[in-house]
């Protein structure tokens, strides 16, 4: 267990302790609600990490290096954006996949672009956004998000490419 995990768990205990001291019923309701979400989410988290591990085992690192490595430059970053935009599912899936890409030899910029694109312009969420907010908003958001994802990936390669993960 890492330091950040221990710190986060400690903060949760402290926060729940304060809430429990002030109003025990709210703290108990919060624990029940959080526990229910945990029970529903745990199978998804397990599946996502299993998929991320399987991705690392099935796809040889040379593939990631060849198509998404530092030598691919903007093409690799663009591929990271496309992968991020079409990756289905929740963040529980995106981060294990990103970890697999990074460990497999993809550049830091490609992985940054992947995560940003996954969050900023996911195709899976587009119908809902169009239905609730409209085409104009979605087109403006996409028009801004794609270049930002590419720029962030490019800058990550430029500034942080020497860091080994």
Instruction: State percent of the chain over pLDDT 90.
Output: 27
46, 79 contact by CB (below 8 A): no
In the chain, domain spans: 1-58, 61-165
Q: What is the pLDDT of residue 53?
A: 73
Q: What is the pLDDT of residue 105?
A: 83
Q: Report the C-alpha dihedral over residues 138, 112, 75, 65, rounded to 10 degrees.
A: -140
Q: E strand or H helix at 18, and its extent?
A: helix 3-22
Q: How many residues does the chain have?
A: 165
Question: Which whole number is the average pLDDT over 86-114?
Answer: 84
Highest mean pLDDT among 19-28, 46-55, 98-107, 120-129: 19-28
d(CA 49, CA 42): 11
Question: Which whole number is the average pLDDT over 93-112?
Answer: 85
d(CA 56, CA 3): 26
- pTM of the entire predicted model: 0.69
Averaged pLDDT of the chain: 85
């Amino acid at each position: 267990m890492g330091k950040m995990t221990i710190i986060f768990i400690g903060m949760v205990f402290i926060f729940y302790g304060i809430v429990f001291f002030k109003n025990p019923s709210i703290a108990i309701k919060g624990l029940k609600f959080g526990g229910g979400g945990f029970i529903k989410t745990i199978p998804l988290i397990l599946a996502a990490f299993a998929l991320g591990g399987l991705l690392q085992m099935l796809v040889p690192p040379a593939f990631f290096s060849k198509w998404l490595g530092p030598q691919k430059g903007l093409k690799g970053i663009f591929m990271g954006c496309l992968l991020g935009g079409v990756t289905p599912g929740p963040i529980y899936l995106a981060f294990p996949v990103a970890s697999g890409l990074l460990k497999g030899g993809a550049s830091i910029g490609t992985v940054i672009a992947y995560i940003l694109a996954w969050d900023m312009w996911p195709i899976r969420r587009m119908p809902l956004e169009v239905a609730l907010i409209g085409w104009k908003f979605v087109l403006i958001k996409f028009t801004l998000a794609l270049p930002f994802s590419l720029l962030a990936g490019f800058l990550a390669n430029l500034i942080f490419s020497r860091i080994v993960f």
